[in-house]
Structures are given as structure tokens and as C-alpha cells.
Amino acid sequence: MANLEDLLNDLANLEAQHDLDGLRGVREKIVSEHPESDEAVEALYKIGLDFLFRERKLELAIESFREATRRKHPFWSAAARTSLGLCYYHRKQLQLALFELRKVAYADEHSSHSLTALTFIENILREENKMEEVDRVQKDRNIQLHVLIAGAREGENQAELGFYLYQLGVCLIDSGETDEAKTHLAEAKALGPDRLGADLYRSVIDSLNRT
């Protein structure tokens, strides 16, 4: 059996080479030889993504995501459950999709995963023309964002703070509250591109132009 640390080194080298087939093989080995490790959960999630986006094999992606959700990892299982919900939606299983996404969106602790799941729920409900439920989810997303912003301030995580301020600004624009949106987006802009990163900073500027 290969040592886990050696396999992780192999992953790093293959990522640098953009060797997708090699990455897939090493991840499968991590899952089979170190099934109880945190790295196995991450590997299952990324194998699912590979099935979904590279091979276009929805059923195999669902199987991999579902297995990752069973491992109860606080980060990778939540990411896998979000992807699982979206797969169900693309398979036209609306209620099952919303069920899985709500497990993430309304978890005990707010996180970037719960925020992402709420955003997907909102988009799905909007697509299904369930506007009363959209309004309710928007309010829930607004509440979570305020909690996450407060946590980022306490932790002095400027990049995270900027991201959540941007998300709140977009949420407020969507609900027609442009004055409040402008306040939060201006605070995010003041953090600057060095802290936010060029892509997020550009998105903040674009959203400010919408207010």
C-alpha cells in the first residue's frame, strides 16, 4: 500500500503538470488505500467533479458525491452535498435537489458552503417561478451574510470580509435595496485589489456600477 504522504506529493506534481488522468488515478488510489482519511473525502469529491465536467457522466458523479457526503467531513462533504443537489436538479428531481441543498444551507454553522447552497436554492426557485419562496431565501441569505461578515471582522480576515461584503451587496441589489448595497460594496472596494484579488475586486466595481 502506498504511503499517503507520497500520494499527496504525487498529486501536487500531477497538478503542476495538469495531468488530469494521472490525478484521477492517484485520487482513486487514495480512496481505496486510505478510505478513512480526510484526503479520501476530498478525493471522492474531486473524482465526482471529474466525472461531471470532464467525462459528462452524471450518474457516476452522483455516486461519487453521495459517497463523499457519507464521510461527514465539515468542508468536503458539504461541497459534495451541494454538487449532489445540483446533479439531482439537472436530473429533474426538484424536491430531492432542494432537500440536499437545504441540508447544507441550513446547517448549524454558517459557512461559505451554506451561502453557496442558499444561492443555488434561490436560483432554482426563481427558475421554477416560486417567487414567495425566493423572497424568503433572500432574507435567509441576507441574515447569514451579516453573521459571516461579523465573523470575518473578528477574525481580521480581509479577503473573506471583502467576499462576504460583495455577496451582501449583490443580494441587496437583487432585492432593490441599492443604497445599502452601495455602502457594503464601497467598504469592499476600499479593501483594494491586493487583499481581494483582481477578479473579486473587478466584480465589486462592476456591482457598484449597478447601484
pLDDT per residue over 102-149, tens digit each? 999 999 999 999 999 999 999 999 999 999 999 999 999 999 999 999
The domain locations on the chain are 1-92
Assigned CATH for 1-92: 1.25.40.10
Residue 49: is it exposed, middle or buried by C-beta count within 10 angstroms (0-12/13-18/19+)?
middle
Q: What is the DSSP string of the chain?
A: ---HHHHHHHHHHHHHHT-HHHHHHHHHHHHHHSTTSHHHHHHHHHHHHIIIIIS--HHHHHHHHHHHHTT--TTHHHHHHHHHHHHHHHTT-HHHHHHHHHHHHT-SS--HHHHHHHHHHHHHHHHTT-HHHHHHHHHHHHHHHHHHHHHHHHHT-HHHHHHHHHHHHHHHHHTT-HHHHHHHHHHHHHTHHHHH-HHHHHHHHHHHTT-
Residue 51, pLDDT score: 97
Label residue 1 by pLDDT band (50, 70, 90).
confident
Task: Using a cut of 0.85, tell me whether the model's pTM lies above it.
Answer: yes
* 178, 179, 180, 182 alpha-carbon torsion, rounded to 10°: 80
Query: Would you state the cell numbers that stand for residue 75, as one nine-digit string?
Result: 468542508
Label residue 20 by pLDDT band (50, 70, 90).
very high
Model confidence pLDDT, tens digit, residues 39-89: 999 999 999 999 999 999 999 999 999 999 999 899 999 999 999 999 999
